[in-house]
Amino acid sequence: MKIDALGLRFLGGRGGDLLPVHLGLNQLERLLSHLVLELLRVEVVIGGLVDQLDREGEVGLVDVAFFKGQLEAIEAGLAAAMVAGAPADGERATDLAEEARQHIDRWFYRCSHSMHSGLADMYTADERFKANYEKRGEGLAEYVATAIKANQAWQEA
């Protein structure tokens, strides 16, 4: 049995599949929404979904450019902060972590600070997410995760 970032219990299935157990309707709905939207985020990070939505006319070209530019600025800012030696739990990094949370909240789904901290765990545990950050600099995934968690602590204090 495994406990995920949302606090839901899973049983390991064949081939590494995870099956939810003991879920109420609200928990299942929340879980499915979270999983679907995180899959969309994975696709957006690699550019596929944004391009597809643009082709389908669901997202305007200006929106796509803004989205990509905003994400690039946040990630580049975090990488620059790390390289400059700014502490991951300092103001510069936590401000960027808050921008990242608001970016998710604007483009994908409501993202509380607690949910964002759960995503931070995934950014370091899931090799696909980790690779997205590590391509900008070794240790960036952990730096981002620390900044996100510090931002949550600061926001909720």
Tell me the pLDDT tens digit for each residue of 83-125. Answer: 999 999 999 999 999 999 999 888 778 899 999 999 999 999 9
Domain 24-156 in CATH 3.20.20.70? The answer is no
Q: What is the pLDDT of residue 30?
A: 67
What whole-number distance in Å separates Cα of residue 18 and Cα of residue 29?
16
Q: Is the model's pTM score more than 0.85? A: no
What whole-number distance in Å separates Cα of residue 71 and Cα of residue 74?
5
b/e sequence 30-65, b meaning 16+ C-beta within 10 Å: ebeebeebbebbeebbeeebbeebbeeeebeeeebe
Domain map of the chain by residue range? 24-156
Q: What is the pLDDT of residue 80?
A: 95
Cβ count within 10 A of residue 119: 21
